[in-house]
Amino acid sequence: MTRGNQRDLAREKNQKNQKNKGQSAADTDANKGLSLQERQLRDAARMREKQLLAQQKKTAGNNNEPDGGATAKSGR
């Protein structure tokens, strides 16, 4: 029972994955040239944008009525 080149392919794939595991956050391409504080500020701004978009989607999804939920309900 031979496996052909399956073992070699798996070894190459694993070596490729292991190559980037030893990098710190400062060494990755997205963070090159940025200090820790600059990265934190950038990431915090990104998260605020995402939260704002999520909040807008949530509030826009609550209006299920045809006129946007602007109907006045009478107390009768």
* Confidence band of 3 (pLDDT split at 50, 70, 90): confident
By residue count, the chain amounts to 76
Q: What's the CA gap between 69 and 76, in Å, rounded?
A: 19
pLDDT in tens, 6-48: 999 999 999 988 887 777 777 777 888 888 899 999 999 999 9
Half-sphere exposure of 61 (CA within 13 A, CB side): 6
User: How does DSSP classify residue 69?
Assistant: S
Q: What's the CA gap between 23 and 17, in Å, rounded?
A: 12
Residue that the structure tokens 């595991």 belong to: 21
Q: What's the CA gap between 12 and 18, in Å, rounded?
A: 10
pLDDT in tens, 41-74: 999 999 999 999 999 999 988 766 556 555 566 6
Q: What is the pLDDT of residue 67?
A: 60
* pTM (global) more than 0.75: no
